[in-house]
Structure formats: structure tokens, C-alpha cells
Amino acid sequence: MYSRIQSLRRYLGSLPEKPESLSFPLREEELETFFFRLTKKYSGCFLLESHPEYSNNSRYTILGFEPPFRFRGGKNTFQINGRVFSSEHPYQTLRSLFPSAKRSKRYNGGLVGYLSYDSVFFFEPVTALAGRNGFPFFSFGLYLDGIVLDRLKGEAEYFFYRKNRIESLLSILGEEDSESGNVSVTVSGYSKTKEEYFRMFSETKEEIAAGNTFQCQIGFEERFKIEGNIFPIYRSLKKKNPSPYLFYYKDEELEMAGSSPELLFSHHDRIVETYPLAGTYPRGKTPEEDRTFTGKLLSDEKELAEHSMLIDLHRNDLSRICETGTVRLRKEFEILKFAHVQHISSEVTGILKRDEDCFGGLASVFPAGTLSGAPKVESIKIIRRIESEERGPYGGVLGYLSLDGSAQFCILIRSLFKSGNFAYSRAASGIVFDSEKELEYNEILNKLKAIKSAVEEYLS
């Protein structure tokens, strides 16, 4: 593998400092139709966007297709374009490939993909998991061209480093749709009964009483059988559960789509950010009831204590890779509202050490404390024992490591994961000493509604 890695590293290192850019005649109202055509034509593609309501993240929509290099990580294996090599640490192998940062003011190509929750053993002292069937520990495409849509200006650009594929894209843009791309969904049910969840809840409470954890995220999933491309479900999800981090991702063997409310890691010009999202109440049926629930959430001692605990965890995580004294709480205890639930949100920032990079930064905060618990490592062990099944991509991250040195990864929640005809969504709630089982169970169901509402119109 070493010679292959060296050859690929030299190739990537020889890329031009900046890509070439060409105007591309794509209007925002054409985006979904155009991208759907790409999903049907190519085995690998992605779309990253944000709902306009979340203005700090909504200016640019980026998409890519058919990357020249694809990487997958397994247990002691690393794949390059389907060829399997042995690797003691696949994540570090991926890291070793990445070239020095190019000059750019925004995303200009790079790695786009996901890192599974089950890959936690790459970074923390926990027993290696087998991994979930159909979902590798990570899947990334290295995209060396793509389209960036500037929603503020209403303009799109196609960029490329070596191979110019704009004519293919223009041809696809001008096509007439010959098929609708029907998708059919059958609900298979939850992975746990209510009684089974209550047993998991009780076991977690015993761990808390024994002093092994203070807060632990325990949950279950809803499973589906899906025939067809899930991009129509993504479009439905985008309308029914708008969020700051909307995505569709596809490689040769899997698809995923999501409407994530939570950013785990962001890096640009050495500034790193993480946004703990913890403390949850349902949305009200009326504006008055909604305001009442917001007030209750902000005065709920249990929810506030849970959020404070996770702020501290995120601070500690960033302190490992940031300059001493730079980690601080920029925003705290703000309310973010979504279609079915509302959360308490805070923002923790720091300045990345000069000898660190995005790979190290992401590893330092992975997995999110809001998807594991506190203390993190012990909670991960408890989750594995009590949930007794691999989570797969759920609770991991999806995003990009740009060739300009920037990165942005959202947490894989409120998401649908599909391999073959099998698909699932998953949710969890944070159990603490004074949690009530009925409330925690209902919180999980409310979180699962995001995907459930998106698939309803496609039920067979």
C-alpha cells in the first residue's frame, strides 16, 4: 500500500494552488431537479445546503459528483477506489494523503463524506466494534471539481483543478426528465419495544447510581424497507424539517439524507467551533403553548444541568487541540426551534494549535458528547453494553475537509441511512439521575418524527 499512498500523495500535492472557475447557469429553483438527475446518473455524489432561516450558514450550497478517488475505512482495512489494503489505523492513513492547504476563501474541493459513530475506537480507548453491515467506518470521496451556488448573489460557479467536466454538466442541466424516480417505503418497526427501552433506561439509571456516568445517551431506531433513490425523501425532509445542515450523500453502496440541527466541528483560519445541543422539549401546538414549553425548558433544572455538563465536555475536548487560554464560551443557553422539538444551544470556540490540523481537531471532539454522555469514554462503553447493537453512521458526522484547510461536520441525527433496500433512522435521549422513563421515551419518538414525516407520502 505504501507505494500507492506515496503516488497518490504526490499527485494531490501537485494540484494547482487554486482551481479554475467558470460561470454555470444554474438557478436556485432548478437545483433539486438538476441534482436529482446527477444522483440517477452517477454512483457517487453529494449535496450540502442550509435552510435560509439559519442565515449564518445558508449563503453557499455546494455539490459534487463522481469523485476520481474514493476511500473507505474498515477494521484494519483501507480502501482506495475499491482496492483493499491492510491498515492499523485507516483514519491516519486518510490523513496522511491530504495535501497542504490551497488558497481559497471558501470550499474549493476536497474530502466529502461521513465518519461512523462505530469508528470511535480510532480515537478513544474502547474495544473495537465490528461495524454495521453495509456501512463502513468511514466513506469519503475526494472531489476535485464541483459547483458552488451563491444564494446571496443568485450565481453559480463550476470549479475544477485538472479535468474540466462542465460540458457534461451543461448537458445534464438541459435534459428533460423522462422518469420521476419513484421511491417506495415500507415501515418495518422499531428496533426496541417500549418495555425493552424501559429496561435499558433502568440499567442506565443503575450505572448512574453506581457513579459510572453522570449522563448517558440511550436510544433505538425505526427501520424501513425502501425501494428506489431516497433523494425525493430528502426533498420532503427539507420542507418538513428545515435545519442548518441539510445533506444528501451517496456512494456505490449506500445513501444517506439528513436535516441535522447540530454542528460538531468547524474550522477556518485556525478558528474552531463546536455547538453543543442538549436539553429538549417538544414544540407546542399553538404559539402560546410553544412559548410556554420554551419557558419550561429554560427553567428545567434537569435540562439545564445536562446542557452545562456537555458544555464542559466540549470545552475539554477543544482544549486538547487549541492554544492554551483560547477556548471560550461565545454563546450560551440559546433556544433553537425545529419542526418537532426545541433545544438549548451554546457555542464553544478556540484557536487551533499551529501543529494541529482539521483531522486532529475532528478527532478531539469525536464522537459528540451530546450523542454519548459524560464522562465520554465510560458512557460510550455503557451505551455499547446496554444498546447491544452497532449504531452505524448515526451519531457520527458528515461534512467536508476542504483543500483550503477548512472543515465543517454536522452530527448525523435526524437522518436516514440506506444500504441496499434496508434503511433506518435512530434517536436517543440523555438519561441523568432524575430522568423519567416516560418523558425520555417520548423525546426519542419526537426526534424520530423528523424522518417519519418525510417518508409518509412514500409509504406503500
Contact at 8 Å (CB) between 273 and 266? yes
Nearest CA among 372, 369, 377, 365 for reference residue 387? 372
Distance, C-alpha 80 to centroid of its chain: 22
Q: Which of 44, 350, 395, 430 is catalytic?
A: 430
Question: Which are the contacts of 283, defined by CB distance < 8 A and separation ≥ 6?
Answer: 290, 293, 337, 338, 339, 340, 341, 342
Nearest CA among 321, 305, 316 for reference residue 358? 321
- Return the bridge partners of 194, or none: none
* Identity of residue 312: D
361: annotated active-site residue: no
In three-state form (DSSP H/G/I as H, E/B as E, the rest C), the secondary structure along 154-204 is CEEEEEECCCCCHHHHHHHHCCCCCCCCCCEEEEEEECCCHHHHHHHHHHH
Report d(CA 133, CA 118) in Å as an integer.
11
Containing H/E element for 430?
A: strand 422-431
Containing H/E element for 96?
A: helix 90-97
113: annotated active-site residue: no
Q: Give one DSSP letter per residue of 338-393, joined into a string.
A: -SSEEEEEEEEEEEB-TT--HHHHHHHHPSPGGGSEESHHHHHHHHHHHH-S--TT
Report d(CA 233, CA 206) in Å as an integer.
39
Report d(CA 221, CA 363) in Å as an integer.
26
C-alpha cell at 36: 436529482
Report d(CA 217, CA 370) in Å as an integer.
7
C-alpha cell at 297: 425548558
Q: Which of 72, 267, 340, 343 is catalytic?
A: 343
161: annotated active-site residue: no
CA dihedral defined by 97, 100, 104, 108, rounded to 10 degrees?
-10
Contact at 8 Å (CB) between 336 and 281? no
114: annotated active-site residue: no
281: annotated active-site residue: no
Q: Which of 399, 414, 424, 458 is catalytic?
A: 414
Active-site residues: which are they? Answer: 343, 370, 394, 414, 430
